[in-house]
Amino acid sequence: MNVIALNDRITIEAGKRSGKPCIRGLRIAVSDVLGWLAMGMSTKEITEDFPELEDADIYACLKFAASREHSMQVLIAA
């Protein structure tokens, strides 16, 4: 099995969730967590609904998203 660890919490596995970044090899994608946060769920609500997650996992998702945003190239209209 080919697993890419992006940090100590975020992994990518070809056969899991279509290769989306997930949390610690679980079937919970970073995009799932970001979506829940965007809908207004608190970290407490998320960890209550998904007890396999830890607060550090949620913060790792935010750090992952911030890192991606920071590294995006900006297109400037001519």
Boundaries of every domain in the chain: 3-70
- CATH level 3 topology of 3-70: Arc Repressor Mutant, subunit A (1.10.10)
C-alpha pair distances (Å), 78 with each of 39, 75: 36, 9
Q: Amino acid identity, residue 35?
A: G
Least Cα distance to 6 among 73, 67, 69 occurs for 67
pLDDT in tens, 8-59: 899 999 989 999 999 998 999 999 999 999 999 999 999 999 999 999 999 9
3, two tokens: 């697993």
User: Which pLDDT band holds residue 61 (cuts at 50, 70, 90)?
Assistant: very high
- The span from the CA of 16 to the CA of 29, in Å, is 9
* Residue the block writes with tokens 């079937």: 27
